[in-house]
Every structure is written in structure tokens, then in C-alpha cells.
């Protein structure tokens, strides 16, 4: 996650020595272009609106694998539960997110959207959204200054006062709170879906700077288990294969962090024959890794020997310059956590190191002695930069986000105070039920006697809030 100086940071001067970028498109900034969509709409800033038809096909393909959010759209479209909602969105912009955006609009919302990651935007999808007269400000390969400019364009629009925020990393919340505090006080609710963003919300709440209610959907069961565990279990392999064509069998790999993301990564790497290590700070997660047959070590103990290093902590400086100096020739380094600070990439932008672009989002960093490491996505989210996330899993997360927005927007006064809340268990179960028909799954129903014995309502919720799935 990027953290700006007061408002717009200047691009790091050291970046001038870096050869190439992760964008495989031309070097003309969209901010210097004048573009018009088919109906004369101009309230957007993207790479190329002419790619709209291609992006529309991408969205249609994604919809086929997103049964839950599509079902929610059909069920709630007539009631328009988000009529009057004006949502600032700051998430990844890809085909799956576009399905969520168009669902929110069909439920009555007005939206303005920016990207939460400078490398994950699908330019053709952004074009398809702009062609539908949706204000979108994002393109793959933004500079950091572009990044904050795009979010600002979503927040500060003429004759448009936002009243809801859908965030992924807390950047829209952060910018509005810092630059537009009066506007922030008029927000009715924030929905946040990342570990990093939720951490920032809890910090604001602890400091008594959070003046609006916020919904933590990252820790909802449907988000944590399905987006973090099952999705990352598939997307980590897809990312590394697409980016490097690596063979996994016999490779030594270390995963830093054994939360849901780390568990998913380890399951797939182990299944393909990797020799696996885990680095952890939490004794409970460390014990889980040990019971799963993995060696728990300190990164320093194995850094000279491992072939693959994956961060999945959400923390900062997990992999430092000292670590990278000691890595073996050809070591593959990438990040699966949200924050772009897990790998200290800035420490590699020094005169004695040479950056060599291999392909989009793949760089060789070469030491004076000829040693090189392979860095993916410049330390940002590798699965959303070098590949894509399974649409079915995004459907689960998107439905969760949509329901959280509906809940906060329609909640009667006093239900939610200026604090951070978890998604109600009943909504978690509803999101899961929307996706069961895809598997032709049939739930068993409790009898009246069974429900009374367990002290449950026959319609749920079926587990207490403290239950660990």
C-alpha cells in the first residue's frame, strides 16, 4: 500500500536510473490524452477507450464464473437498495471487479472508481467501464503521482458528494481523511477488504480519528477462507508459471507468513514437490505449519539456499537488502501480501545494481559480481499483476462487499457507531448460499427438535461469532 506525503508525492528520484517499467503499453500518459466514449462521455482517464469491446468480452467471461454476485444483482435489482448511494471505489480494476461495479450500479448506486494497485489494472476492462459512462481513473503502469491523482479525481468531483467508500488497502479513506476532512465526516460507511486497510482502520479507531462506521469484510469467513486461502492456492502457481515458466519439483521455497494466504501458497507448492520452509512470528501459526509437515525457520537461516521467496504477511521490510544481498543467483522473489512494502524494493535502486526488464512485470536485478535475482511485479501483488484471480472466488468477495455496502447504507441511525465492525454472520452464510447452486449442493435442514436442542434458528445463523471455521 502506498502512503503519500501530504497529498501528491513526487516519484522517487532514484527511479530515474531504473530502466524500463512494468507497463507493456506506450509511454504516453493518459493524463495527456483527450478521449471520448461513444455517447460523448468524458469523465474518465484510462489508457485507451478504443479497447472497450475487448474489455466487454472479458467482463462477460468473468460473469459466467461469478454466480453469487450475478444472483444478488437479479434478486435486488428491483428494490434498488443502494439508491442514493454515491460510492468512491478504490480496488483492483479487472474483469471481476467490473462485475461488482456494474452490480452496484444496477442496485441504484452512483460510483467513481480508481485502482488500488498501479500494476493490476486491466486496461481493456477500464475502457469497457468508461464506454458504459462509468467514471473510472486507472491504467496499468501508473506512477505514484498518477496513483494519488486518480483517487483524488474520484473523491473530488463537481456536483458529486460521496457518501460511501469501498476500499482495498485504505488509500481512498486515507486521502479523503487527510485532504478532505469535512467531506469525510459526511461519509455514511466504509467497507474495507484488505488486511492492511483494516489495520489502518483499527488504528484510526484507537486514535479516535474514525468518525464514521466501517465494515471489516477482510475478516468475514467468506473473504478470509475463500479469497485468501482457496484463491491464493491457485493463483500463486499461475502467477509464477506465467511470469517465469519455472519448474517447481525439487525447488526450495520459503513462504513468509502462514496465515490464510500463506497456507494457500504452501498447499499448492507442496503439492508440486517443493521443499518448503515457513517463517512466522506467531507461535500458533508456526505450530500449524509444523503440524502440516513444514519446517519453521528464520529467513536468515535459509536465505542462501532457497530458490523461491514469497512474502505473505502484510508487514513491511520482511525481505531487506541484506537478505537480497545473500540470495543465490537466480533466486525468484515475489509478494503475495497486500502491501507493497514487504520487500524493500527501494533499497535495490542504487547505482551499483543494474535493473534489466525481462518481460512485463519481470525484472532481473544484477549485482556487480554478475549475480542476479528475479523480482516479480516490483514487489507488488504478484497474482494480480502477473496473472489473475479465479472469478468464482472474486464472486464470493464481491457479494460480501456488496452486502456490506447495503447494510451500512440502509442501517437505521444508531445501529453502527464510529467504529470497525465485522460482517454479521447471517450475511456470511447468505453469501455462501448464493454460490451453492453452482455445485448442485443441497443443504440438510434441521428439524424443529434438532434446532431446539442446539438452540438455533432453523434459518441460521448456525455458528456463534467466535466459531473458527
Retrieve residue 278's grid coordinates: 515457513
451 φ/ψ angles, rounded to the nearest 5 degrees: -65, -40
431 assigned to a ligand binding site: no
Please state, as a whole number, how many other Cβ atoms lie within 10 Å of the Cβ of residue 111. Answer: 23
Retrieve residue 349's grid coordinates: 535502486
* Measured distance CA(200)–CA(180) in Å, rounded: 18
259 assigned to a ligand binding site: yes
Retrieve residue 325's grid coordinates: 544481498
123 assigned to a ligand binding site: no
The answer to whether 215 touches 421, Cβ cutoff 8 Å, is yes
Go through 305-315 and write b for each residue having 16 or more CB atoms within 10 A of its CB, e for each that does not.
ebbbbbbbbbb
Retrieve residue 246's grid coordinates: 519455472
141 assigned to a ligand binding site: no
Nearest to 154 by CA among 178, 131, 171, 132: 171
The answer to whether 147 touches 5, Cβ cutoff 8 Å, is no
The answer to whether 141 touches 164, Cβ cutoff 8 Å, is no
* Measured distance CA(358)–CA(210) in Å, rounded: 44
Q: Tell me: cis bond preceding 149? Omega within 30 of 0 counts.
A: no
108 assigned to a ligand binding site: no
DSSP summary character for residue 17: G
* Measured distance CA(236)–CA(253) in Å, rounded: 13
The three-point CA angle 241-144-255 to 5° equals: 35
Nearest to 92 by CA among 376, 417, 389: 389
The answer to whether 289 touches 266, Cβ cutoff 8 Å, is yes
Nearest to 46 by CA among 157, 122, 111, 119: 122
458 assigned to a ligand binding site: no
383 assigned to a ligand binding site: yes
14 assigned to a ligand binding site: no
Residue 412 makes CB contacts below 8 A (sequence gap 6+) with: none
Nearest to 119 by CA among 149, 138, 140: 140
Annotated binding site: 259-264, 280, 383
Annotated binding site for NAD(+): 259-264, 280, 383
Amino acid at each position: 500500500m502506498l502512503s503519500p506525503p501530504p497529498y501528491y508525492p513526487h516519484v522517487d528520484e532514484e527511479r530515474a536510473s531504473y530502466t524500463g517499467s512494468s507497463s507493456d503499453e506506450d509511454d504516453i500518459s493518459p493524463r495527456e490524452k483527450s478521449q471520448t466514449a461513444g455517447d460523448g462521455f468524458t469523465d474518465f482517464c484510462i489508457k485507451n477507450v478504443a479497447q472497450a469491446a475487448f474489455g466487454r468480452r472479458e467482463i462477460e467471461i468473468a460473469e459466467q464464473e461469478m454466480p453469487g454476485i450475478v444472483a444478488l444483482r437479479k434478486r435486488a435489482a428491483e428494490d434498488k437498495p443502494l439508491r442514493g448511494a454515491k460510492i468512491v471505489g478504490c480496488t483492483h480494476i479487472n474483469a471481476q471487479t467490473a462485475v461488482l461495479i456494474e452490480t452496484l450500479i444496477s442496485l441504484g448506486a452512483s460510483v467513481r472508481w480508481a485502482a488500488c494497485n498501479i500494476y493490476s489494472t486491466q486496461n481493456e476492462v477500464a475502457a469497457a467501464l468508461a464506454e458504459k459512462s462509468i467514471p473510472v481513473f486507472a491504467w496499468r503502469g501508473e506512477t505514484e503521482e498518477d496513483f494519488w491523482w486518480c483517487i483524488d479525481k474520484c473523491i473530488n468531483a463537481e456536483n458529486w458528494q460521496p457518501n460511501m467508500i469501498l476500499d482495498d488497502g485504505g488509500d481512498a479513506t486515507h486521502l479523503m481523511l487527510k485532504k478532505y476532512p469535512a467531506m469525510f465526516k459526511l461519509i455514511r460507511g466504509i467497507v474495507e477488504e484488505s488486511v492492511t486497510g483494516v489495520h489502518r482502520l483499527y488504528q484510526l479507531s484507537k486514535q479516535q480519528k474514525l468518525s464514521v462506521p466501517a465494515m471489516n469484510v477482510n475478516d468475514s469467513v467468506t473473504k478470509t477462507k475463500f479469497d485468501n486461502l482457496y484463491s491464493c492456492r491457485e493463483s500463486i502457481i499461475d502467477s509464477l508459471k506465467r511470469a517465469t515458466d519455472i519448474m517447481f519439483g525439487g525447488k526450495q521455497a520459503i513462504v513468509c507468513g502462514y496465515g490464510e494466504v500463506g497456507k494457500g501458497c504452501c498447499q499448492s507448492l507442496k503439492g508440486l514437490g517443493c521443499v518448503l520452509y515457513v517463517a512466522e512470528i506467531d507461535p500458533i501459526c508456526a505450530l500449524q505449519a509444523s503440524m502440516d509437515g513444514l519446517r519453521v525457520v528464520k529467513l536468515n537461516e535459509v536465505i542462501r539456499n532457497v530458490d523461491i521467496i514469497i512474502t505473505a504477511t502484510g508487514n513491511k521490510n520482511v525481505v531487506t537488502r541484506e537478505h537480497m544481498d545473500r540470495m543465490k543467483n537466480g533466486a525468484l522473489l515475489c509478494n503475495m501480501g497486500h502491501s507493497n512494502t514487504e520487500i524493500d524494493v527501494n533499497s535495490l535502486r542504487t547505482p551499483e545494481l543494474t535493473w534489466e526488464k525481462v518481460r512485463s512485470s519481470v525484472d532481473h536485478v544484477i549485482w556487480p559480481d554478475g549475480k542476479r535475482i528475479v523480482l516479480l511485479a516490483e514487489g507488488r501483488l504478484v497474482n494480480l499483476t502477473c496473472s489473475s484471480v479465479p472469478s468464482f472466488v472474486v464472486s464470493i468477495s464481491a457479494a460480501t462487499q456488496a452486502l456490506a455496502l447495503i447494510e451500512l447504507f440502509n442501517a437505521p441511525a444508531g445501529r453502527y457507531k464510529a467504529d470497525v465492525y465485522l460482517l454479521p454472520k447471517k450475511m456470511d452464510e447468505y453469501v455462501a448460499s448464493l454460490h451453492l447452486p453452482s455445485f448442485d449442493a443441497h443443504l440438510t435442514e434441521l428439524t424443529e427438535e434438532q434446532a431446539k436442542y442446539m438452540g438455533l434458528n432453523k434459518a441460521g445463523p448456525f455458528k456463534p461469532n467466535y466459531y473458527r471455521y
